[in-house]
Amino acid sequence: MPFYELKDIQEIPLVNGITIKAVYGDNASVSFLEFPAYSTIPPHAHPNEQIGIVTDGALHYTINGESKLCPAGAAFVIPPNAVHSARVVSDRPAKLIDVFAPPRNIMEPLSYTEG
């Protein structure tokens, strides 16, 4: 199916109150994430390249040990297998759009690392 309404896509709990929904193509997927205030995604890695765009709020991202504040309008690229984490830096929720290539199945649990 080539057309989707985001309101009709099932929202899946990810971790720490963060939710995710996704649209899949043959060669890429796009995920829509919502983060509660001060929530975190622990360090993890996956074989997919990831390109993210912060659409609301602000997140502090760490990618392979390099950290940066990413406010709404910021974008970032995470190479395959790079350890990365994120945390919302205020009492305001945040929203993020992630593109994954190849597609990442959001039903497969992430493997969180120690750091």
Phi, psi dihedrals of residue 6, rounded to the nearest 5°: -60, -35
Short-list 31, 37, 32, CA closest to 100? 31
pLDDT of residue 111: 81
pLDDT of residue 108: 83
Closest CA to 65 of 31, 15, 3, 115: 115
Q: How many CB atoms lie within 10 A of CB 64?
A: 11
- 3-state class percentages of the chain: helix first, strand second, coil last, to nearest 5: 5, 55, 45
Tens of pLDDT along the chain (115 residues)? 799 999 999 999 999 999 999 999 999 999 999 999 999 999 999 999 999 999 999 999 999 999 999 999 999 999 999 999 999 999 999 999 999 999 999 888 778 886 5
Maximum Cα interatomic distance, the chain, rounded to a whole number of Å:
39
Which pair of tokens denotes residue 20? Answer: 């995710």
Please report the domains of the chain, with CATH numbers, ordered by start residue.
Answer: 18-106 (2.60.120.10)
Pairing of strands 40-45, 58-63: unpaired
φ and ψ of 13, to 5 deg: -65, 135
